[in-house]
Structure 1
Amino acid sequence: MEVQKMSNGHHDLSPDKSPESGFDALENITESETFLHDKTNGATHFTDFEGKTSFGMSIFNLSNAIMGSGILGLAYAMANTGIVLFVILLISIALLSAYSIHLLLRSAEVVGIRAYEQLGNHAFGTPGKILAGCVITLHNIGAMSTYLFIVKIELPHVIQGLMELPDDYNAWFVNGKYLIIIVSVAIILPLGFMKRLGYLGYTSGLSLSCMVFFLISVIYKKFVSVCPVEASKNDIFVNESIYNSADTCEAKFITVNPQVRDIYCQSYYQVSFWLYFKPNEFNFLFFKSQTAFTIPIMAFAFVCHPEVLPIYTELKNPSKKRMQNISNISILAMFVMYLLTAIFGYLTFYAKVQSELLEMYSKTDTLMLCVRLAVLVAVTLTVPVVLFPIRRAVLQLLFPDKPFSWVRHISIAVCLLFVVNLLVIFVPNIRDIFGFIGATSAPSLIFILPGIFYICIVPKEQEPLKSRPKIQAMVFVALGFIFMIMSITFIIVEWVTGMKSIGPH
Structure 2
Amino acid sequence: MLVRFAVLYNASSYGEVVQCALGRTAKVLSEICIIVNNAGVLVVYLIIMGDVMSGSLHHMGVFDQWLGHGVWDHRKMLILLVVIVFLAPLCALDKIDSLSLTSAASVALAIVFVLVCFSVAFIKLVEGKIEAPRLCPDFGSKKAILDLLVVIPVMSNAYVCHFNVQPIYNELEGRSPQKMNQVGRITTLLCIMVYISTAVSGYLLFGKGTESDVLTNFDKDLGIRFSSTLNYVVRIGYILHLVLVFPVVHFSLRQTVDALVFDRSVPLSESRKRSLTLTTILLGMIYLGSTMIPNIWTAFKFTGATTAVSLGFTFPSLVALRLSHGGQGLSLGEKFLSWLMLVLAVAVSIFGVIGNIYSLKSQSQ
The counterpart of 1:152, out of the listed 50, 53, 57, is 50
The 2-side partners of 1:484 and 1:291 are apart by 14
- In structure 1, the gaps of 5 or more residues are 1-102, 232-247, 263-285
Output the amino acid matched with 1:249. E
The higher radius of gyration belongs to 1
Q: Whole-Å Cα distance in 1 between the matches of residues 19 and 149 of structure 2?
A: 37
- Which of 102, 112, 122 matches 1:203? 102
Q: Provide the aligned length of Structure 1 versus Structure 2.
A: 349
Number of the residue aligned with 1:311: 168
CA contact (8 A) 1:142 1:437 kept: yes
Change (3 A) 1:471 1:155: same
- State the Cα deviation string for residues 11-51 of structure 1 (Å, max 9, x = none): xxxxxxxxxxxxxxxxxxxxxxxxxxxxxxxxxxxxxxxxx
Report the CA distance between 1:144 and its aligned residue.
Answer: 0.5
Q: CA RMSD, aligned part only?
A: 3.0
Q: How far does the alpha carbon of each residue in 1:466-496 deviate from its partner, in whole angstroms, 9 at most, with x for none?
A: 955334312311221121122222233344x
Task: State the Cα deviation string for residues 232-260 of structure 1 (Å, max 9, x = none).
Answer: xxxxxxxxxxxxxxxx73467x5354369
1:484 aligned residue? 349
* SS across alignment from 1:301: helix
Question: What's the counterpart of residue 354 of structure 1?
Answer: 210
Cross-structure match for 1:329: 186
Match of 1:10 in 2: none
- TM-score of the pair, normalised by structure 2: 0.85
Question: In structure 2, what is the equivalent of residue 45 of structure 1?
Answer: none
Q: Specify whether residues 119 and 206 from structure 1 end up closer, same or farther in structure 2 by C-alpha distance, changes over 3 A only.
A: same
Amino acid at match of 1:327: G
Identical-residue share of aligned pairs (%):
26
What is the correspondence of 1:234-313 to structure 2 with a 5 Å cutoff? 249-250=131-132, 255=136, 257-258=138-139, 262=142, 286-287=143-144, 294-313=151-170
Relative to the length of structure 1, the TM-score reads 0.63
Find the partner of 1:222 among 121, 134, 138. 121
Cα distance change, pair 434–332 in 1 and its aligned pair in 2 (3 A) = closer
Alpha-carbon distance change, 480 to 427 in structure 1, aligned in 2, over 3 angstroms: closer
Cα offset for 1:214? 1.1
C-alpha distance in structure 2 between counterparts of 1:463 and 1:448, whole Å? 19
Aligned to 1:391: 254
Q: Give the superposition deviation at 1:331.
A: 1.0
After TM superposition, the structure 1 stretch with the greater mean CA deviation from structure 2, 296-305 or 472-481, is 296-305
Could you say which structure has the higher helix fraction?
A: 2
Match of 1:472 in 2: 337
* Residue matched to 2:264: 401
Structure 2 distance, partners of 1:472, 1:210, is: 34
Deviations for 1:327-366, whole angstroms, at most 9, x for unmatched residues?
A: 10111112222333344444555x5562454455453612
Deviation at 1:435, TM superposition (A): 3.9
Q: Contact between 2:13 and 2:163, CA under 8 Å: does it hold in 1?
A: no
Distance 2:47 2:111 in 1: 22
Corresponding residue for 1:276?
Answer: none
Distance 1:292 1:123, change over 3 A: closer
